[in-house]
A and B are shown apart, each in its own frame.
Chain A
Amino acid sequence: MLVVAGDLDHHTTPRLRAALEEVPFGPGADLVIDLSSLTFCDSTGIATLVAAHQRAHDAGGALLLAGLEQDIARVFHIMGLDQLLAFYDSPEEAVRAVKDRRESTT
């Protein structure tokens, strides 16, 4: 589980990108990002989340996003990202979904 708080912009996104690069995605190795304290997300933040999703997908893992603020969720919806990324209302729900994934794959 990764918790992202505050603004994700040109200045702060490199830190998230570096953190995500260290995540060993793989079958059964999924990541929940808790975004419930995210206040702003610009284009670099979006590009980083999309890249992490693709890397997780390629490795057979999954990236789950939890607790997205309503306005940011709306923007993600307009961009069609809700068809790509898995959104959950809370980190707990996302963690339950991770467990379900493991059970269904075993």
Chain B
Amino acid sequence: MPRKEPEVSTVEEAPGRPTAADSDEEARRQEAVRRYAALETASGGAFDRVAALAARIFHAPFATVTIVGDDRVRVIAAHGPSARRAIFRSPIAGSPFMESPVVESPVVVSLCAAAVRHDGPHAVSDALLHPGSAGDPAVRGEPGIRFHAAAPIVTPDGEPLGSVNVMDTRPREAGEEELACLRDLAGLVMDELQVRLVTQRTVEIERQLRAGAERLARTLQRTLLPPALPRVPGLRAAAAYHPVSADEVGGDFYDLFPLDGDRWGFFLGDVCGKGAGAASLTSLVRYTLRAAAVYDADPHAVLANLDAVLQQEHAGGDMPAPYCTAVFGVLQPDGDGFGVTLATGGHPPALAVRADGLVEPIHPAGGQLIGILRNPHFAQVSARLNAGDALLLYTDGLTEARTETGSMLDEDGLTAYLAAAGPTSADALLDTVHDLITDLGEGVSDDAAVLALSVPPATRSSFSGSQGAA
């Protein structure tokens, strides 16, 4: 083939030695490549189509989309007969990209690397005669690239990431129209990278928000429940929280804490609502109950105090009034057992499992919702826990659960389940409730908190005391 005189290429010579300004520029460019994660993630059908279109427009055998990293050129799409191997002959041995459309080359291919230094599309009519590329192995050897055209892929803030390239084994000219098309194709690649970056950022932000919300929910939940129950001489105590959802904060709460002398206070309840609002209300309720008990431990007075605080909290607000239900009790050591005084406001009955297996409610009739009613009535009752007796407090997530037949478990169903399990201890009572909740499965639709207290059985036989009204 007669060799033509070298055509005047439309490009300037490749720049000479890098200056300090050049290296600053290159650092900014590398930062942009990293920002778009272009070397790591960019690949896919959209880029393959761009390469195929570029080849078709130029009627050329090879086209590629490349990203220029700091020490390698990465081909994110390639079109043509064995284009990747032909143009970049040294894929990293054993690279996971070997069989994928994306090939990494340790060889800095001068043609592609040079493309990013140009502001617009450019072409080299005969690479063999071009000082910047004549030494390139793909030019000197197989497949013998002669013609090369490239359009830089430029970010909106002007940083070139790589280029869309077309190559031919024959020297030739590039038409203005062809180069304009190449520039538009490079613009399409940039648009695609931009969309991917925004999508990736959105997903990342969503992930962070979700992780933050879950962390907040867990932190709140921890503050609402005591990390461990205190040891009360002569008493066993255990508590559990059965959440329905891992990332939604429920409004169930409980606590057991020392009062004056040898008396102990305990409570369990449920505030209305879910989420952050319910969590802050739960926090208020919990601290109010503890503070009120220090002031006056009479259970009825404690609930009345809580009611006053919640009513004040709501005063003037347009939102539905916040309210809660709760059981508050005081334990007083008495012989080999404890005297228990319980007050309740709108809460399901506490259940005593006696030493002989009898299950009976310890429930003052008529206690009303706390924080929402005018002149609410809180009821109080006294009872005894003797050796071998256990007491279960629970929230309505347990009793409002649906059984297999679709009916509510209710106090009756819970009573029957506990009766079948027989005499028990605080820990065993919690296991029984855990089994029940497992049995109910999907029937449980709300969080359930349980607090169990028990008096260890005496070595000699003992009898339960009877329940008496306050």
Determine if chain A interacts with chain B: yes
Q: Are B408 and A47 in contact (CB under 8 A)?
A: no
Is the pair B369, A81 in contact by a Cβ cutoff of 8 Å? Answer: yes
Is the Cβ of B408 less than 8 Å from the Cβ of A74? yes
Neighbouring B residues of A42 by C-beta, 8 Å? 272
Question: How far does the Cβ of A18 sit from chain B's closest Cβ, in whole Å?
Answer: 13
Is A48's beta carbon under 8 Å from chain B?
A: yes
Chain B residues with Cβ below 8 Å from A10 are: 273
* Interface size class of chain A, counting residues whose CB lies under 8 Å from the partner chain: 20 to 34
Report B344-362 CB contacts with A as 1/0, cut-off 8 Å.
Answer: 0111100000000000000
Candidate in A48, A54, A74, A79 with the most chain B CB atoms within 10 angstroms: A79
Interface string of B261-294 (1 = CB under 8 A from A): 0000000000011000000000000000000000
B317-345 residues at the A interface, CB under 8 angstroms: 320-321, 323, 325, 345
Q: How far is the CB of B375 from chain A (nearest CB, A)?
A: 10
Q: Is the CB of B320 within 8 A of A51?
A: yes
Is there an interface contact between B377 and A83, defined as CB atoms closer than 8 Å? yes
Measured between beta carbons, the chain A residues less than 8 angstroms from B369 are 46, 50, 79-81
A42 to B348, CA, bound (A): 16
Is B120 among interface residues, defined by CB-CB distance under 8 A?
no
Whether B348 contacts A43 by the Cβ 8 Å rule is no
Chain B residues contacting A74 (CB-CB under 8 Å) are: 408, 410
Contacting pair B368 A47 (CB below 8 A): no
Q: How far is the CA of A102 from the CA of B187 in the complex (A)?
A: 81
A84:B272 contact, CB within 8 angstroms: no
Number of A-B contacts (CB under 8 A): 61
Per the bound structure, the CA–CA distance linking A54 and B314 in Å amounts to 15
Write out the residue numbers on chain B whose beta carbons fall within 8 Å of the beta carbon of A81: 346, 368-369
Q: Which of A89-105 contact B (CB under 8 A)?
A: none
* Beta-carbon nearest neighbor of B274 in chain A: A10
Q: Is the interface of B mostly helix, strand, loop or mixed?
A: loop
Say whether A83 contacts B366, CB under 8 Å. Answer: yes
How many angstroms from the CA of A75 to the CA of B399 in the assembled complex? 10
Known contacts A74-B410, A75-B400: A80-B346 contact under CB 8 Å = yes
Contact call A47/B321, Cβ cutoff below 8 A: yes
Contact of A84 with B320 at beta-carbon distance under 8 Å, contacts A78-B346, A78-B396 already known: no
| Set of chain A residues within 8 Å of B373, measured between Cβ atoms | 50, 80, 84
Chain B CB within 10 Å — which of A54, A80, A83 has the most? Answer: A80
**A71 to B403 alpha-carbon distance, docked (Å):** 13
Q: A47-B272, A47-B372 are in contact. Are A78 and B348 (CB under 8 A)?
A: yes
Q: Would you call B325 and A79 a contact (CB within 8 A)?
A: yes
**Which residue of B273, B368, B374, B410 is within 8 Å of A80 (Cβ)?**
B368
Chain A proximity of B357: nearest CB distance (Å): 25
Residue of A nearest to B349 (CB): A78
Contacts A47-B320, A50-B372 hold; do A78 and B366 have CB atoms under 8 A apart? no
Q: Which residues of B contact A83 (CB under 8 A)?
A: 366, 368, 377
Can you identify 26 A-B contacts, CB atoms within 8 angstroms?
A: A43-B272, A44-B272, A44-B320, A46-B272, A47-B272, A47-B320, A47-B323, A47-B372, A48-B320, A50-B369, A50-B372, A71-B408, A75-B400, A78-B325, A79-B368, A80-B346, A80-B366, A80-B367, A80-B369, A80-B376, A81-B346, A81-B369, A83-B366, A83-B368, A84-B368, A84-B373
Chain B residues close to A by CB (< 8 Å): 272-273, 320-321, 323, 325, 345-348, 366-369, 372-374, 376-377, 396, 400, 407-408, 410
